[in-house]
Structure formats: structure tokens, C-alpha cells
Amino acid sequence: MTSVSSRTTLTSSTTEPGPPPSTGALAAAFLTIALASFGGGLSAWAQRVLVERRRWLDQDEFLSALTLCRLLPGPNQVNMAVYVGTKFRGVPGALAAVAGLVVVPTAILLVLGELYFRYRQLPALDATLRGAVAAAAAMTIAMGLKVGTPLLRDPGGMVLALAAFVAVHVMRWPLVPVVAVLGPLGILWAWPRAPRAGTSS
């Protein structure tokens, strides 16, 4: 069997893709993501709904899409809704996904905002909100561990990830130049390579 370098693929997914969704299913999925991620953790819930439950994307495509959405202007999950909706149903799909992500949660936010400013002096309300934020942080950490574990088998990926973390979160360098330098290096590292001569099969 031909050996393949770990550089070729950082993550793998054995999940078979699900059937293409309708516009209604897209709206419902992103509504689920928005409502379930109260307090934060949108990316974690997006991964759970789109990859694990609906099987519309595999893990590799989800991570690639999430990276692209983080680099483009605008909120990450709105960009993700546009990406997924356009992939399956074009412009109508993108509109449906964005509507599911934004319309109902915005209405709920307006109501909750009014209630918050009316009753914000109540200790129970403050405790509830802090609990929701803690749960969202735990979801985000769990997703980071899930998608980052394959990097442990890829030394180049680990070096690039560590370099990005140090540059952005420790050195506080701007994101654009960091991506401009590390992005091409990551592409070169992960680029598929032909088997070396003499490799047995």
C-alpha cells in the first residue's frame, strides 16, 4: 500500500454526506444554530449541526469554510450561512440561511433586551447570563480540541498553529499580515505531493 505523508491532509472525516437540503431546511438549520448558541459558541454549534447532525459538510470542508469566513469581512456565521446556502441552493439558499440565522434571533434579542434593561438589577438574571457564557466557552473549547487533535500528528501544522497563536494573541500583530505570511506557508506544507520514487505498494 502506498504510504501518504501526513502533510497531505490535516483532518479526515469518515461521515458520508447527507442529501442536499431544501431552502426550508437551510433556514431551520441556521435557526437551530442561532438559538442553541445563546451566550456564544456559534462556531461550535455550526460544526455540530452542519457536520455531525445534518452531514451537509464533512469536517475538512467545514474547517476550510470556517477559515474563509473568518478572513472575509463581516460576522463569521453570517458568512458561513451565505457559504452553505449558496453551495446547495444558490442565492435563494443563501437568503434562507441568513434569514434563519438572523430574523428570529433578532426578534428574541429585542424582547430579551427590553426585559434585561427593566430587570437587570436582579441577581438571578446576572447569574443566568454568566452561566450561559460559561457553557458557550466550554462548547468552543470542545470544538477546538475536536478539530485540533489531528494537528498533533502533523508537526508542520503544529508549528504553523503555534506561530499564528503567538503572533496574534501574544505579540498582538495585525491579523492580515500574519495570514499573508503564514497562509502561503500552510498551503505549501499541506500541498499534495507525489509518492517518492521507490515507494512500495
Q: What is the mean pLDDT of each run of 10 residues along the chain (201 residues)?
A: 41 58 95 79 86 91 88 88 96 96 90 82 76 73 73 82 90 88 85 55 45
Task: Supply the pLDDT for residue 103.
Answer: 93
Contact between 65 and 80 under an 8 Å Cβ cutoff? The reply is: yes
Q: In sequence order, which residues have a C-beta less than 8 Å from that of residue 82 and are 6 or more positions away?
A: 94, 97, 98
Task: Supply the pLDDT for residue 145.
Answer: 77
Q: What angle do CA 39, 44, 47 make, to 5 degrees?
A: 145
Task: Supply the pLDDT for residue 39.
Answer: 57
User: Which is nearest to 175 in space by CA: 21, 62, 23, 70?
Assistant: 70
CA 139: distance to chain centroid? 12
Task: Supply the pLDDT for residue 195.
Answer: 52
Q: In sequence order, which residues have a C-beta less than 8 Å from that of residue 88 and are 6 or more positions away?
A: 20, 21, 26, 56
